[in-house]
Amino acid sequence: MIVQRVVLNSRPGKNGHPVAENFRVEEVNLPDCVNEGQVQVRTLYLSVDPYMRCRMNTDTGTDYITPWQLSQVVDGGGVGIVEESKHTHFTKGDFVTSFYWPWQTKVILDGNILEKVDPQLVDGHLSYFLGAIGMPGLTSLFGVQEKGHITAGSNQTMVVSGAAGACGSLAGQIGHLLGCSRVVGICGTPEKCLFLTSELGFDAAINYKEGNVAEQLHKLCPAGVDVYFDNVGGDISDTVISQMNQNSHIILCGQISQYNKDVPYPPPLPPAIEAIQKERNITRERFLVLNYKDKFESGILQLSQWFKEGKLKIKETMINGLENMGAAFQSMMTGGNIGKQIVCISGDTSL
């Protein structure tokens, strides 16, 4: 059987900006034989995420993420349907997900890397397992829960950068749900600002491309900032940190503004900002969702419950076709998405 796949065509270089042409689509032959312990799946949805930028380098800079190899199939979060199974845990028709899903229309996988998912948790929106009811949702939930130190009723102000993205759009809502009295988002277009305040319940939003961010932040957070959910790093984060209160907390989720630079993670703060951090006893610890695997199941159930109750609004930017994976990746890295960036490979869930 001939299937399509996406391979890494070239590397942008540690300091380069990724483009669609870094990826290419090619056809390969899928073996007819499914061996014991394996599962043949048809891909429904694939995820593109900021962390993948480091996988385009020869060295990812971490010991838990491996680099993609040139001319080899690319992988990441995926959801699909089982077409044939020789694994005891899966049967034909099961919906499954994996963090290591090849960018391929159909694939034969070791069943041990797959996890069965229940469509009822997402009211049939299977792509949500790659976003709000998946790893980005868990990252947002545990980040806010474990590193935000939010106490309901204590009048805390939370700021979220990259607020219209996959994690930021959820983190702000979760901040409110856990007891923050004021949530302010920072993003890059008027459309995103309106989305945050009119649809997601953010109290205010700042377009960092317009006006003075420090002045706007001062006006919108008159009592200072108690919790900062940091998705971007760089100048925006320096501005937020300079207005944070004594004993406040930074949730270090991502640093997308720094991903095209050859710097360590997390990037060091400028000396003046580092002095403020130390002087005000602001916590800034690396956050890694994989350290909370024992809470994944309960976290997914909590996120699903909030979604079904209408308390957690979910937004996706959907692009169709495996051939558009590279374009979707480039768009996500330049802020083209609102909510989670998803690529639909096949909308057909019949067998």
Classify the C-alpha dihedral 220-224-226-228 as positive or negative. Answer: positive
**What's the pLDDT at 261?**
77
How far apart, in whole angstroms, are the C-alpha atoms of residue 317 and residue 127? 11
pLDDT tens sequence for the chain (351 residues) = 999 999 999 999 989 999 999 999 999 999 999 999 999 999 999 999 999 999 999 998 888 889 999 999 999 999 999 999 999 999 999 999 999 999 999 999 999 999 999 999 999 999 999 999 999 999 999 999 999 999 999 999 999 999 999 999 999 999 999 999 999 999 999 999 999 999 999 999 999 999 999 999 999 999 999 999 999 999 999 999 999 999 999 999 988 777 777 777 788 999 999 999 999 999 998 888 989 999 999 999 999 999 999 999 999 999 999 999 999 999 999 999 999 999 999 988 887
CA atoms within 13 A on the CB side of 33: 2
Q: Please report the pLDDT score of residue 285 as a whole number.
A: 84
CA atoms within 13 A on the CB side of 43: 30
pTM of the full structure: 0.95
Q: Are 173 and 313 in contact (CB under 8 A)?
A: yes
Question: Rounded to whole angstroms, what are the CA distances from 30 to 5, 83, 271, 279?
Answer: 11, 13, 54, 59
Give yes or no for a contact between 148 and 285, defined as CB atoms under 8 angstroms apart. Answer: no
- Residue with tokens 């060091």, as numbered in its chain: 268
Ranges of H-type helices in the chain: 135-147, 168-178, 190-198, 213-220, 234-241, 271-279, 296-308, 325-333
DSSP tag of 304: H
Q: What is the per-residue pLDDT for 254?
A: 85
Q: If we measure between CA atoms, which residue out of 161, 247, 239, 150 comes closest to residue 205?
A: 161
Neighbours of 280 (CB within 10 A): 15
Of the candidates 164, 199, 170, the residue with the CA atom closest to the CA atom of residue 185: 164
Strands (E), the chain: 2-8, 23-29, 38-47, 75-85, 95-102, 106-110, 115-116, 157-161, 182-187, 204-207, 225-230, 244-252, 283-286, 316-320, 340-344
